[in-house]
C-alpha cells in the first residue's frame, strides 16, 4: 500500500439500497484509482441485532457479490469480510479502554436502536462505534466515504485516534469523512422525511440495487409525493419530489436544474416513470453481473480469501504497533 487509504463498509442486514449506492458506493467507485481502497462486509457489526444464522451467512455472501457487481475490481480494491480479520475485535477491545461510556450513550444510532430493540440492548449496540473506529484505524485510513448518517461515528473515531496519539505518540492516521454534497441522505419512498433504510419493514420504502425493473417501476409510481403537480426542488415544502429529483440526478446524471427544466410541467406520473427508468438503466449492469457472479461460488470464496489475506497483513502491522505502545509484552 503506498497511496493514502480509503476504508468503508456496509452491514449485511436487509438489502443494499439505492440509498447505500448513492450515499456510499458511487464514491467508493470514484476513489478506486487515486487511493488504496479497502471495503469490508461489516458482519461483526450486524451481530448487534439478532440474525438467523443460515440466512445471515447467505446474505453476507450476497452482499459481497453485490460489491463486485457494482464494479469494485478486486485487483484494485481489497474486498473482504470483517470477521475474517481478527484484529478488528482485538483493536476494538483496546480502544474500548480509551472510550467513555457517556460518549457512547450520546450516539444517535445507539439511542435509535435501543428504542427499536428494547428487548436486546446489548453491550455490542453501545460499543458499535468503537468497533467501527477499530475498522477504520487498523488500516491507517485517510478518507472514509459514507452517507450523512455516519458522520457522528466518524467524529468519535477521530476523537479516539487523537486521544490515543496524544497519550502515546502518533500511532493512527486521523481519518476524514467523505460525505457527498448531494445524495448523502436518500429518503424513504413512502415517508420522505425518514431515511431510506435497508431493513425497512415496508417493502415499498426502499429499492434494492439488484431489484427487477418492473418492481422498481412500481415502487417509484407509488412513491409518496404531494398534492401539487409541479416538479420543483424544495426539500422543505416538497420533500417527496425533491428526494426523487436527487435520486434521478444521481442515477441518471442530469443536474437538478435540468430535471426541473425538463419535467416541471409534465406532471408527476411522467416524472416518476422517468426517475424509475434512470434507476433501472443505471442498475442494469449491476443486476446482470450479480446474476452471473452468484453462480460462481468458488470465485467469490477465492476473492474473499485473497481480500482477507491482504487486509490481515496491514491490520497486523498496526496491531503490533498498538500493543507495543500500550505496553503489552511482545512474543519473540
Contact residues toward ligand TYM (CB under 6 A) are 7-11, 19-20, 22-24, 42, 45, 132, 135-136, 144, 146-147, 149-150, 184-186, 195-196
The answer to whether residue 113 is catalytic is yes
Nearest-10 Cα torsion for 310, 312, 316, 319 = 130
Instruction: Tell me how far, at minimum, the Cβ of 234 lies from ligand TYM, in Å.
Output: 19
Instruction: Tell me how far, at minimum, the Cβ of 264 lies from ligand TYM, in Å.
Output: 25
| Angstrom distance (rounded) from CA 239 to CA 246 | 10
Residues facing residue 39 across a β-bridge: 8, 79
| Angstrom distance (rounded) from CA 186 to CA 133 | 24
When the beta carbons of 9 and 239 are compared against ligand TYM, the nearer one is 9
Of the residues 30, 111, 113, 219, only one is catalytic, namely 113
CB 121 within 8 A of CB 84: no
Residues facing residue 145 across a β-bridge: 178
Pair type for strands 5-10 and 36-41? parallel
Of the residues 76, 116, 198, 272, only one is catalytic, namely 198
Count CB atoms within 10 A of the CB of residue 253. 10
Question: For 316, how many CA atoms within 13 A lie in the half-sphere containing its CB?
Answer: 7
When the beta carbons of 108 and 292 are compared against ligand TYM, the nearer one is 108
Instruction: Tell me how far, at minimum, the Cβ of 128 lies from ligand TYM, in Å.
Output: 7
Which among 165, 218, 255, 187 has a CA at the least distance from the CA of 22? 187
Instruction: Tell me how far, at minimum, the Cβ of 235 lies from ligand TYM, in Å.
Output: 14
> CA separation (Å) from 215 to 169, 211, 212, 280, 293?
54, 7, 6, 10, 22
Instruction: Tell me how far, at minimum, the Cβ of 278 lies from ligand TYM, in Å.
Output: 17
When the beta carbons of 144 and 254 are compared against ligand TYM, the nearer one is 144
Residue with cell 480479520: 85
When the beta carbons of 14 and 213 are compared against ligand TYM, the nearer one is 14
Phi and psi at 189, nearest 5°, equal -75, -15
Instruction: Tell me how far, at minimum, the Cβ of 60 lies from ligand TYM, in Å.
Output: 12
Helix pair 268-293, 213-221: axis angle to 10 deg: 150
When the beta carbons of 152 and 169 are compared against ligand TYM, the nearer one is 152
When the beta carbons of 144 and 274 are compared against ligand TYM, the nearer one is 144
Count CB atoms within 10 A of the CB of residue 78. 23
When the beta carbons of 49 and 230 are compared against ligand TYM, the nearer one is 49
The answer to whether residue 198 is catalytic is yes
> CA separation (Å) from 282 to 18, 21, 271?
11, 11, 17
| Angstrom distance (rounded) from CA 230 to CA 185 | 23
Instruction: Tell me how far, at minimum, the Cβ of 20 lies from ligand TYM, in Å.
Output: 4
Of the residues 195, 219, 238, 272, only one is catalytic, namely 195
| Angstrom distance (rounded) from CA 17 to CA 292 | 20
Measured from each CB, the residue nearest to ligand TYM is: 23
Positions annotated as catalytic residues are: 113, 195, 198
Amino acid at each position: 500500500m503506498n497511496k493514502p487509504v480509503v476504508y468503508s463498509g456496509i452491514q449485511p442486514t436487509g438489502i443494499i439500497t439505492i440509498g447505500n449506492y448513492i450515499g456510499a458506493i458511487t464514491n467508493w467507485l470514484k476513489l478506486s484509482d487515486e487511493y488504496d481502497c479497502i471495503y469490508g462486509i461489516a458482519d461483526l457489526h450486524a451481530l448487534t441485532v439478532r440474525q438467523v444464522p443460515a440466512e445471515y451467512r447467505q446474505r453476507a455472501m450476497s452482499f459481497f457479490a453485490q460489491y463486485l457487481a457494482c464494479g469494485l475490481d478486486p485487483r484494485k480494491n481489497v474486498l473482504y469480510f470483517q470477521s475474517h480479520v481478527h484484529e478488528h475485535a482485538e483493536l476494538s477491545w483496546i480502544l474500548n479502554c480509551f472510550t467513555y461510556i457517556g460518549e457512547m450513550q450520546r450516539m444517535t444510532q445507539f439511542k435509535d436502536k435501543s428504542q427499536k430493540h428494547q428487548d436486546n440492548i446489548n453491550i455490542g449496540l453501545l460499543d458499535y462505534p468503537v468497533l467501527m473506529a477499530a475498522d477504520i484505524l487498523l488500516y491507517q485510513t485517510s478518507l472514509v466515504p459514507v452517507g450523512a448518517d455516519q458522520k457522528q461515528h466518524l467524529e468519535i473515531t477521530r476523537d479516539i485516534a487523537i486521544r490515543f496519539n496524544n497519550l502515546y505518540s502518533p500511532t493512527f492516521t486521523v481519518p476524514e469523512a467523505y460525505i457527498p454534497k448531494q445524495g448523502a441522505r436518500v429518503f424513504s419512498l413512502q415517508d420522505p422525511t425518514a431515511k431510506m433504510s435497508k431493513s425497512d419493514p415496508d417493502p415499498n420504502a426502499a429499492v434494492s440495487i439488484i431489484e427487477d425493473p418492473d418492481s422498481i417501476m412500481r415502487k417509484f409510481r407509488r412513491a409518496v409525493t404531494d398534492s401539487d403537480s409541479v416538479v420543483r426542488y424544495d426539500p422543505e415544502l416538497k420533500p417527496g419530489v425533491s428526494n426523487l429529483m436527487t435520486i434521478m440526478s444521481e442515477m441518471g446524471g442530469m443536474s437538478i436544474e435540468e430535471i426541473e427544466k425538463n419535467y416541471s410541467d409534465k406532471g408527476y406520473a411522467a416524472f416518476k416513470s422517468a426517475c424509475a427508468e434512470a434507476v433501472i438503466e443505471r442498475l442494469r449492469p449491476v443486476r446482470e453481473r450479480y446474476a452471473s457472479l452468484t453462480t460462481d461460488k468458488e470465485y467469490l470464496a477465492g476473492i474473499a480469501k485473497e481480500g482477507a489475506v491482504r487486509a490481515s497483513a496491514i491490520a497486523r502491522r498496526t496491531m503490533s504497533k498498538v500493543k507495543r505502545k500500550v505496553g503489552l509484552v511482545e512474543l519473540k
